[in-house]
Amino acid sequence: MRRVVLVLIGACAIAAAAWGIHSLPGTVTAHIGPYDFSAASPVAALAVILLFVAVYLLIRLLGFVLFMPRRLRRWRSGRNRRYGDLAVTRALVALAAGETADARREAGRARRLLGDTAQTLLLAAEAGRLGGREDEAEAAFKQLTAQPDAAFLGLRGLLRQAMEREDWTRAYALAKEAESVHPAAAWLRKERAALAVKTENWVDALALADADAPKAALAAAAAGQATNVVQGLHLARRAWKEDRTLPAAAIAYAARLRADGRERRAQSVLRESWERAPHPDIAACFLAPLTDPASRLAAAKRLTKNNPQHLESRLVQARAALDAGQLEDARFHAEAVRATGLNQRRLWTLMADISDADGTDSEAARMAQRDAMRLAATAEPDPVWRCTACGTPQTAWHPICPACGKTATLRWSTAPVSVSTAMTARTAA
Ligand SMILES: [Zn+2]
The tens digit of pLDDT for each residue in 398-416 reads 999 999 988 889 999 886 6
Q: How far does the centroid of ligand 1 lie from the alpha carbon of residue 427, in Å?
A: 13
Per-residue model confidence (pLDDT) at position 325: 92
- As a whole number of angstroms, the distance between CA 123 and CA 220 comes to 45
CB distance 355 to 369 below 8 Å? yes
Cα(257)–Cα(267) distance, integer angstroms: 9
393 CA → ligand 1 middle, Å: 8
Q: What is the pLDDT of residue 429?
A: 34
Cα(246) to ligand 1 centroid in Å equals 18
- Residues of the chain with pLDDT > 90: what percent? 59
More confident residue, 341 or 12: 341
Distance of CA 386 from the midpoint of ligand 1 (Å): 8
Q: With H, G, I as helix, E, B as strand and everything else as coil, classify residue 28.
A: strand
Residue type, 344: Q
Q: What is the pLDDT of residue 179?
A: 84
Per-residue burial over 216-249, b if 16 or more Cβ lie within 10 Å, else e, is bbbbbbbbbbbeeeeebbbbbbbbbebbbebbbb
Predicted local confidence at residue 349, as pLDDT? 92
What pLDDT sits at residue 240? 97
Q: Which residue has the higher pLDDT, 33 or 341?
A: 341
pLDDT tens per residue, range 275-314: 999 999 999 999 999 999 999 999 999 999 999 999 999 9
pTM for this predicted structure? 0.65
Binned at pLDDT 50, 70 and 90, residue 422 comes out as very low
What is the Å distance from ligand 1's center to 382 Cα? 19
Q: 171, 150, 169, 168: which is closest to 159 by C-alpha?
A: 171
CA angle 19, 20, 24 (to 5 degrees): 115
Average pLDDT, integer, range 119-141: 92
Task: Give residue 346 CA to ligand 1 midpoint distance, Å.
Answer: 25
If one counts every other C-beta atom within 10 angstroms of the C-beta of residue 406, the result is: 17
Q: How many whole angstroms from 238 Cα to the centroid of ligand 1?
A: 25
- Give residue 389 CA to ligand 1 midpoint distance, Å: 5
149 exposed, middle or buried (CB, 10 Å; 0-12, 13-18, 19+)?
A: exposed
Across-strand partners of 385? 394, 412
Alpha carbon of 403 to ligand 1 centroid (Å): 5
pLDDT computed for residue 12 by the predictor: 80
- Please indicate whether residue 362 or residue 14 has the higher confidence score (pLDDT): 14
* Ligand 1 center from residue 156 Cα (angstroms): 29
Ligand 1 center from residue 396 Cα (angstroms): 13
> 83 falls in which pLDDT band (50, 70, 90)?
very high
Per-residue confidence (pLDDT) for residue 415, from 0 to 100:
64
Task: Say how far apart CA 383 and CA 314 lie, in whole Å.
Answer: 16
Q: Which of 73, 62, 185, 356 is nearest to 175 (CA)?
A: 185
**What does the pLDDT read at residue 338?**
92
The mean pLDDT value of the chain amounts to 88
CA 400 – ligand 1 centroid, Å: 8
Q: How far is the CA of 277 from the centre of ligand 1 (A)?
A: 23
Q: Do 120 and 114 form a contact (C-beta atoms < 8 A)?
A: yes
| Whether pLDDT at 426 is above 50 | no
